[in-house]
Each structure stands twice: as structure tokens, then as C-alpha cells.
Chain A
Amino acid sequence: MEAIDLRRDFRSRSGVRRTSRTVEAVKGVSFAIEPGELFGLLGPNGAGKTTTIKMLITLLLPTSGTARVLGRDVVDDVREVRRRIGYVFGGDRGLYERLSGLDNLRYFSELYGVAPRDQRRRIAELLELVGLTGRERERVEGYSRGMRQRLHIARGLLHDPEVLFLDEPSIGIDPVGARELRATIGALRDQGKTVLLTTHYMFEADELCDRIAVIRAGEIVASGTPAELKRRVSGARVVEVETFGVSDEAVAGLRELSGVESVVVEERDQSRMLIIRCAPDAEVTQPVLARLEGTGVGRVSTREPTLEDAYVELVSGE
């Protein structure tokens, strides 16, 4: 699958005089995914992940640029693309509440062209795969979110697509359910399927994906294997300073200190946490505290950077 310079603008009209605004949701996104790869599109809410996926699954027309899935163009070859892809999205919606899980699968297997003689076997296999065997005759309205999500995955796999698109599948799921979900997704890759996963959970991307692209405000700001991304921040150290009421000028001043590579501010309930990345050998704690003279300072600690730091840094544009 490949995307070449995909763009998507949205025109929204608001107000009494219907003034229109153009929002560039996706600004020139390009990437390529190898067969059998589990590719992660990682980014905060509103970054353009869902829009990108919708362009690839033929639900949206790109404003410009091209994309090909399994060699077929998403704009021209719509039916061929749809036959070979599966689409799974997170959340509560997307199923017929008043039907049982089994009926939902039967319904969608008809729509997605699963041969009648294969349906029963396939549905049973998939229920087994996602761990819903025994619950399939209950109505979906009684399912927990984790169960719905697993039913979604089963639905997405009914017609045995070569490529699977998972749009934030673990959103709103409890930790245990999410872990089972990740195990299922990992198993898919082991079966040889190509998977594009979007998420804003960084650890999920780290655990599951062969390669990750970080997307922010419609553009890809970094891509590579999880190890490569971590290396971008390794060899550095991170100093965390808990402050109460630090001013933005003080933060700006900190950035100018020698040895400081970046400062990210995290808002907590009562305090603002400064996450300062500095060069491996630099001793910045004292100069930082000196600069923060007059501001209330709580805990100060030093640690090794994690992938999360890399991610936060990338998406906040520091």
C-alpha cells in the first residue's frame, strides 16, 4: 500500500452569512507499507489519522495526491479496493444493537460477499479468534465495549481481506480488554495480514508496530521503527521539574540555557511539569533551578528518555 502526497481539505460553512473556511486536515502525507507489515500511524486527536484512513478505504476523495492499495488506485478502482480491505473503528457504534453478535456477522458477511458455504465455518473461526464464542447469540446492546470492539474485528475479517485498517481500536477500553485486543492484533500480523493501525496510545504503537509514522496537524513529522524513534531521543537525559505557576517567559529562558535541547510543559491538576531534555553530559539541574528562582518548585528528578518523550516532543513541535 502506498500513499503519495495525500491532501484533504474540508470546507465548512458557519454563521448566518455562510462564510466558508477551508481546513487542511491532511497536508501532503506520504508513506509506503510492505505486505505483512503492521504499520502504525501515531498522533494526537485531530492530527488527521482518521481522515487519512478514510481516504485509503475509499470513503473520502483526496483533494489531491494519489494512493494505491494492493496496486489499485483508491479513487478509480473503488470496488476492487473495497473487496480486499477490512475496516475496523473504535467506539460503541457500528453494529446493529438489536441483533445478536451472530446475526450481525451473518448480515455483514452477506454484504461483504462471503460465499454462503464458507460463512458458517468462517464466522465460527472468527468468533474463536476474538474470544466471543458462547456470547454470539446475545444482543449487541448488552455487549461491553471490549466485546463490541472484538466483534468489530471479527466483522472486519469476515471476507478474509489482505489489508486491514484499524482506526483507534482500543479507545475507551479497560486495560485488561485492551491487552487482549493487542494480542489479537498481533496474531493478525502473524497470519501474514498487512495492517494499518492508527492510535494515540504510544505504548500500543511501540508494542505492536513494525514501523511507525508520527503525524501531527496533517503532516508526518517522523517515521521509522520504534527503535529508530527511540534513538532520536537516546543519548540524552531528561530532567523533570514540578513547578507551581511558572511563567512562559521563564520557560523560554530555560530553552536558552546551554545543554538544554528542549523543554516541554505538561499541565497537571495543581502544577506544571517541565520536561527538559538535555545533552548527555550537560549538568543543567542547577542552572535550571537558578532560572526558576522565585517560582514554586516541587519535585526534581532525572531519568532516561522513553519513546513517550520522543512522541510528545514530536507532536508538540518542540
Chain B
Amino acid sequence: MTAALRQLAVCYRLQLRALSTSWFDGPLAIFFPLMFATAALLVYRIHGDEAAMQYAGLGAAVMGMWTCQGVVASSLLQRERWAGTLELVVVAPVSLARVLIPMTSAMATIGIYCVVVTVLWERWVFDLPLQVESWPWFVVSLLMAAATLSLFGYFLSVTVVRYRSSWSLGAALEYPGWLLCGFLVPVDLLPDWLHPLSWAIPTTWAMAAVREAAAGTSPVRDLGVCLVIGVAYAVLAAWLGRRLLESARRHATLALT
């Protein structure tokens, strides 16, 4: 058990190191979502409604996480394939889950960094300090958002890898995620038929928990739902991953670029 934990920890640390040495995956990853957050805040700013600005500001802070993690995760296996390391990690005597989860967790850390940058940006550019009633719950909710997003990312990477151009499918998830998770637009405003989609994403619940923490109400229920959904995705991903590898062994798809 400790060996497995140590392996996850060391692999996480090294993957984080690899990510942070590249401008794209590290510091610059925040730029695109930050600009969209800015555009949205400019709209909210027109009426000068304090509550609305706080609402958008909180959402914008977490928005970057979706891009840095959710979207990037979908090309995870693809990039391993290009680097030639996919075969090596498959031949290792550990399960694919223990290889991928440290990677998505490293991305989650970048996600947290995105949150911090956005909060600072809002303070500097929009004079918008975020009002948070309960900082401990706030931090817990953010961590839960990052953790479940990394599990969701694991699920995405395993699902999408069959397609050669999975990075493009992943990139196409960026906007829908911003819309569905309730970052800048309350989920209630969306058409009814979209609600189930929103509820199926763990980040939606984490976002709700973040807002509750900021407002001072208890986020426990939303955090619970978020955790359950996140774990469900992880289990599904583990199963899909095993099937993927079996199929790759049969049809020789692992080495193809």
C-alpha cells in the first residue's frame, strides 16, 4: 500500500516538474481562459452590480482550471504515444490508472495555479477582491474541484485516445465546459435539457461548493456529490483503460503515431 502511494507521489512530482518547465503547459496555459474571463467580466461590469461581479469573479477563478486540466487531459495518452513512452508505461507492471492519475494530478496543480493567477488578475485589473466568508471551506472546495477534475481528466484521456485527433476533440470541450459548469452563467439559466449534462460533470458541483463557501453556507452536500461523481468517473476510466489496452494488444494500435 505504501509502495503504491510512494509511486503515485514520486510520479506526480516528476510529471509536475516536466509540465512546469514548458511555457505552454505551465505559465501560459492561463492566458486563454483569462482573456475570456476578462471579456465576461467586462460585460458584467456595465451594470456595476456588485453581487453579479462577485458571482462572475468567483466563477472566472475556477474557469481556468477547466482549460488547464480538462481540456489538456484529453490528449494525454496521445502525447505519450508521440513521445514514444506509451509502450514503456504499458509494459510496466503497474496498472494504467497508477500511471495516468499522477499526470492528471500534476495538471490539477497547474489548475490551482490558474485559480491564484485569476484571483490576482481580478484584483489588479477590475479592483475586484473576492469576498469569501469561510476560507477553510473555500480552499477545501477548490482542492476538491482540482482533484475531481483530475479524475474526470483521466476518464477523458482514456475515452478519447482512440481518435487520432483527440486533441481537437478535447479542445472543443473547452467552451461547453465553461458554459455547463456554472462558472459565468447560473446553471438554472440554461435550457432544461442541458441541466443533466451540467450535473454529470463533477466541476459543476465543486463550483457550487466554492460559491457556498464564499457565501458562508455549508458546502458539504455539494462536495459529497462532487466526490461521488468524480470517483465514479475514475472507476469507469479504470475499466475502460483495461479494455483499451486489451484492444491495443489485439489490434496493435499502441505504437502508431
Contacts and interface: CB of A to CB of B under 8 A. Distances in A.
Contacts of B217: none
Nearest to A139: B21
B22 interface: yes
Chain B contact residues, majority secondary structure: helix
A93 interface: yes
A87 interface: yes
A113 interface: yes
B91 A87 contact: yes
Contacts, number: 80
A59 B245 CA distance: 9
Given A82-B93, A107-B10, A112-B92, 4 more contacts: A11-B251, A60-B252, A103-B14, A111-B94
Interface in B82-96: 82-85, 87-94
30 contacts: A10-B252, A57-B91, A59-B87, A59-B254, A60-B249, A61-B250, A79-B93, A85-B91, A87-B88, A87-B91, A89-B87, A93-B84, A94-B83, A94-B85, A94-B88, A95-B85, A96-B85, A97-B83, A98-B17, A98-B21, A103-B17, A106-B10, A106-B14, A107-B10, A110-B6, A110-B7, A110-B11, A113-B3, A116-B3, A139-B21
A120 interface: no
A168 to B, nearest CB: 13
A32 B18 CA distance: 42
A60 B250 CA distance: 6
Interface string B227-241: 000000000000000
A113 B10 CA distance: 12
Given A82-B93, A110-B7, A112-B93, A98 B22 contact: yes
B18 to A, nearest CB: 4
A82 B92 contact: yes
Interface string A74-113: 0000010011010101011111111100010011101111
Interface of A: 10-11, 54, 57-61, 79, 82-83, 85, 87, 89, 91-99, 103, 106-108, 110-113, 116, 139, 155
Interface string B1-16: 0010011001100100
Nearest to A51: B252
Contacts of A85: 91
A82 B95 CA distance: 12
Interface string B67-109: 0000000000000001111011111111000010000000000
A83 B94 CA distance: 9
Contacts of B7: 110-111
A99 B10 CA distance: 13
A97 B85 CA distance: 10
Contact of A96 (B18, B249, B251, B252): B18
Contacts of B88: 87, 94, 108, 155
Contacts of B94: 111, 113
Nearest to A58: B91
A96 B254 contact: no
A259 B255 CA distance: 48
Nearest to A100: B17
Given A106-B14, A111-B99, A91 B84 contact: yes
Nearest to A84: B93
Contacts of A112: 92-93
A58 B85 contact: no
A196 B83 CA distance: 24
B93 to A, nearest CB: 5
A192 to B, nearest CB: 22
A94 B6 CA distance: 23
Interface string B99-126: 1000000000000000000000000000
Contacts of B251: 11
A31 B83 CA distance: 32
Contacts of A139: 21
Contacts of B254: 59
A10 B251 CA distance: 7
A292 to B, nearest CB: 46
A65 to B, nearest CB: 15
Contacts of B22: 98
A71 B87 CA distance: 23
A312 B101 CA distance: 49
A262 B173 CA distance: 63
Contacts of A58: 91, 249
Contacts of A60: 249, 252
Contact of B10 (A10, A57, A110): A110
Nearest to A10: B252
A61 B252 CA distance: 8
Chain B CB within 10 A, most for which of A83, A96, A110: A110
Question: Which 8 pairs across A and B sit closest by C-beta, in order of nearness?
Answer: A93-B84, A94-B84, A111-B92, A110-B7, A98-B18, A82-B93, A83-B93, A61-B249
B58 to A, nearest CB: 33
A51 B79 CA distance: 23
Nearest to A113: B93
